[in-house]
Structure 1
Amino acid sequence: MTSNDPFARLPEVPSFTVTSASVRDGQALRPAQLSGLFGVPGGRDASPQLSWSGAPEHTRSYAVTVYDPDAPTMSGFWHWAVANIPATVTSLPEGAGDDTGSGLPDPAVQLPNDARAARFIGGAPPAGHGPHRYLITVHALDVDDIGVPADSTPASLGFTMASHILARATLTGTAETPGDR
């Protein structure tokens, strides 16, 4: 699916490299990254392991977002949003986005996702809805603190950081739940 590109209306910025032991770009998400909380059998709601390199020299912090543009809403579905990751940090372990953010460095903050939980929620496409893309993006920012409140929304984070993004790196995982429409 090539429609609904969430980056199409944002300023173009350079890319850098993001890799993951949890997600292979363009491939199906593993059960660990699917949502047991939303009823996917075997889903563990574990945020993916991420490593990145090659961000611009002037990067002062990072934000990480996980977004499903194919969700059956007019606004997609935000699965995870983390702001204020220090520029010295270039990886996150799998499961960092649990209920307490146990694997996140200080002063990083998890924002409530579209399920209103300040944690990672795994993929859970509705049965028969077709394939969904999960855009896992690391944003290199020109500020130490993006200045959004901890109870802000991922959309508000996106709006606030749009003019501060120096570069971004994205991996795309997929998921589909068979069934009748």
Structure 2
Amino acid sequence: MRIGLYPGTFDPVTLGHMDIIRRATVLVDRLVIGVAINRDKGPLFTLEERVEMLEAECAKLSEETGTEIVAHPFDNLLIDCARDVGARMIVRGLRAVGDFEYEFQMVGMNRALDDSIETVFLTADASHQAIASKLVKEIARLGGDVSKFVTPAVREALIAKFG
């Protein structure tokens, strides 16, 4: 079974994330969405809320593609998480050149820790390249319309958080 790991904080999950998830399903039989606890980032949504959002957003996609998609919280090294879930592939989404520079460094470090786990980069669809969770939260906090960037359910969750 080909198992891939797509890690991130997903605070919140955006249409850009969902695009990468959809495209990653053709590469693997099981896709684990690694939800990073990452207390340093001070997430808006709790870990439980982020996992629930991902599970809800991915349920239909899993049925459509026939790929098992599961959300898996983690707070250890990415490479250790990959080992824990049996992943032989780490999936990373790229939006811009700046993303690549950072990700390239991460690949080097991860390969030094375990060279049997490959990293695959998927570039964001052009319509999703500008989407960043941080910006989506800022738009929602200031009362802007985020419906172009997230699903209706995530939009409602953001409205509930910001009132």
TM-score normalised to structure 2 length: 0.26
Report which of the two has the higher share of strand. 1
Report which of the two has the higher share of helix. 2
TM-score normalised to structure 1 length: 0.24
